[in-house]
Structure 1
């Protein structure tokens, strides 16, 4: 939607054009996790995960918290999402794949949930350019309002995915 967001740099847009990185940001949103914890939750190789974590740290989407003692005398570094991705618009970056990465991250995450305990809604609309812009603006206002709220103690984690797209099936296209 990109309303009132700054344009992403090419490096930032490239960092966000990965469903794995987007999932890492979501995992580290509420709590700091180590690379091993991230890899375990993703069911991924820790070396591969570390590559993604480093890219997110380089672009300031993740920040390292103070190290802590790990198993067998090792030192672990927990990482937390900074929230920076919400403040930028990747659509004008010239880097392709951002929307595909968002959709892929959603599909990977929704496969893990109980569909019967989820809420889905579909709505067909016909909008003018002005109506389309108004809908985007109003949705963005709601998203920003909820993003800026302090999480309540004991609140459950939810994710929201909204797709506004041309409905080519209703205009006689395949």
Structure 2
């Protein structure tokens, strides 16, 4: 049997809760929405590009979000010294989008899911007001800002994913 992207278990964020509960729930909702856009697609469909000259694909978006999860939660917030997964800022800054391969789709999907779990672990037990120094911006940033930024990042890319999915098989919706 050939692999297809799995169906996520997505639910709506709760209408009530404290700030942390709501931030985590909205971020998870957006994470699951990205996965939903990929659900049931083959590796060949996941690497289908939107339109020339763009290298954007659903698999590219997943790979990009794996990099983003890793960067904000583990590298910056957690202070881990980690290499990039798919990019080389000097020689291949868009490798997450440019170097997709259907032969690696299942592994790339698993990497994305692992980075989400590791991001959750990096944020667990930390207060929303906890800060870290972002060396490239030369400023202090809070975990609250990271949650809000990640929700924005997913919301933007989920819009791209909507268009990509509709182009692949006509599927539309949340």
Same fold (TM over 0.5): no
Report the structure, 1 or 2, having the larger strand content: 1
Q: TM-score range by the shorter chain?
A: under 0.3
TM-score in terms of structure 1 length: 0.28
Report the structure, 1 or 2, having the larger helix content: 2
- Structure of greater Rg: 1
